[in-house]
Amino acid sequence: MELGLEGRSYVVTGGSRGLGLATARVLVSEGARVVLSSRSAERLDEAARSLAEVYGAADQVATVAIDNADPEAPARLRTVAMEQFGRLDGALVSVGGPPAGALLDITDEQWSDAFSSVFLGGLRIARDLGAGLDDGGALAVVLSSSVRQPITGLAVSNGLRPGLAMATKTLADELGPRGVRVNGLLPGRIDTERVRELDEIGGDPDAARAAIEQQIPLRRYGQPDEFGRVAAFVLSPAASFVSGAMLPVDGGMLRAL
């Protein structure tokens, strides 16, 4: 199937590793240009080099070292996309994971910091970039399976992700009449650095992984590129009538419809 990504331009936040980089790989391989952002300039340089080495895509990648929580992030990302590629067709808004912990143990400061980066930072980028997209533009917000059921030990995610999902759905309502699509992606257990860190919390990551795999109908963790292919499709013109959806990428782990 032709995704129709050739020559299009997308911002990918959290693009230096994990789900963001996996999505960027698919976008670039399909002929799109990407603006990668993260807080680490060093990681961004590594990501850009890896894309160039594998896909010969040096002229398809630009980078911006910035925190999603920075109010200037949307303007900087848009400016780089327009200066480097002359257009912006959408964005993957990936904001990373908030701190792990039980609700009774999370401090007010941790809640406030997570709200600024995970909720407000992600929402601001989606809102501000989405407001400038033309007919055919698309946003995909990386959320979590915690949108539909709580995850033990991730109280902050359980608290913030469902609200961000509803805001994403609302943004789809507001931008839809202009032909701009907005969707949420709900990754389950994908084999990223973040998930491996979570598995290590109890001191026996192999046992933790084995136990969780038994809760996944496919009996395995997903690979980042499996998520990236779904994200690239949702952003592409091939998904032109998909909007306001919350799409699990979890191997069937979610028990909710």
Position 66 scores a pLDDT of 95
Q: How high is the pLDDT of residue 220? A: 98
The predicted structure's pLDDT at residue 200: 93
Which pLDDT does position 93 carry in this prediction? Answer: 98
- Fold adopted by 9-244: Rossmann fold (3.40.50)
Tell me the pairing of strands 246-249 and 181-187: parallel
pLDDT of residue 95: 83
Question: Is the Cβ–Cβ distance between 10 and 78 less than 8 Å?
Answer: no
Grouping H, G, I as helix, E, B as strand and the rest as coil, residue 247 is: strand
Query: Residues 43, 19: contact at Cβ < 8 Å?
Result: no
Q: What proportions of the chain, in percent to the nearest 5, are helix, strand and coil?
A: 50, 15, 35
pTM: 0.95
pLDDT at 202: 87
Number of H helices, E strands in the chain: 9, 7
Q: Which two tokens stand for residue 228?
A: 């990236």
Q: From CA 233, how far away is CA 223, in angstroms rounded?
A: 16
Question: In the chain, which residues have pLDDT < 50?
Answer: none
